[in-house]
Structure formats: C-alpha cells, structure tokens
Amino acid sequence: MQKTLFFLFLSILFFSCSLNADQEKSLNQAIVKYMFAMNNDLFLSKAAATHPLFLRHYKSQGTEKFKAHFATKDSTFTDPVIGKTETSGEVIHVQLQIALVGKMSYEKAKDRLNIYAVSEDAGKNWFFIEGKDYESKMCSKFKRLIQ
C-alpha cells in the first residue's frame, strides 16, 4: 500500500506543481511520514512534523490544549491532492487537500481537509500546518504565501 501511495504522490507532484525533482521527492517522503503519523496516532511524530512556530504556540497554551490539538482524529487521512504552490526565495508553501475516511467505514468524506506543507530551506525539510491554523492569524510571525 505504501508503494502505491508513493507512486501516486510522485505522479501527482510531477504533473501539478513547479517543484524540482529533489523538492518533489522530499515533499513526497514528508507527506507519507506525516500521513502515517496521523493515521497511526504517533503523538511525537505528529508534533515533530508540525511547523515550529505553531508547535510553540500550542505548547504555550498548556499541556491540555497541546494534547488536545494532537489527539487522535476519528478519521483516516488518505488521497492527498496538491492545491496551490507558492514560493518566495527558499520558502515554499504547498496546499494539500486530504480526503478523510471514517474509522468505521470505507466511505470517503465529501469534503477535504486542507493541510499546508511548508519548507524554509528550498524543499529539503518540510513541516505541516493544519488549514485552520494556517488560515488564522494566531502566529503573527508566520508569513503566509497562499491566500
């Protein structure tokens, strides 16, 4: 299954964004790891994949809010689709639209969840931000490239 996802991601990335081959490969690997962490409730991996500014914000809210933010979802992340991609120097923001499947069913949700992949080193390393956080102004130091 992971190999199938890997090739699906590569083909989506190849046709849908302006990243170079190394950036695409790095993003694909990061997406696979992120989705694995989300789908298997790997608390520390979820936190490690979160953009540091947002991670600091949730840590500053206290232990309960931090744990609640990274708590298990009732859905499985699947079928990521690349949305918008924006770059500014070495900073790259990629919008991912991820389908959700209920834990007790195999039916995909009609709506997709927006997740943003962010690299600040020209695509070598990627961090993720949930759509509601990316679109909010809770971290004033964070510059959003996708509007």
Q: What is the pLDDT of residues 9-68, one digit of tens each?
A: 555 544 445 789 999 999 999 999 999 999 998 989 999 999 999 999 999 999 998 988
What would the 3-class secondary structure string for 2-33 be?
A: HHHHHHHHHHHHHHHCCCCHHHHHHHHHHHHH
On the question of pLDDT at 73 being above 80, the answer is: no
Is the predicted pLDDT of residue 88 greater than 50, yes or no?
yes
The reported pLDDT for the residue numbered 126 is 98
Query: What's the rounded Cα separation, in Å, for the pair 131 and 140?
Result: 16
Q: Is the pLDDT of residue 75 over 50?
A: yes
Give the length of the chain.
147
Count H helices and E strands in the chain, helices first: 6, 4
Q: Is the per-residue pLDDT at 140 higher than 60?
A: yes
3-state secondary structure at position 119:
strand
Mean of all residue pLDDT scores within the chain? 86
- Start-to-end Cα distance in the chain: 34
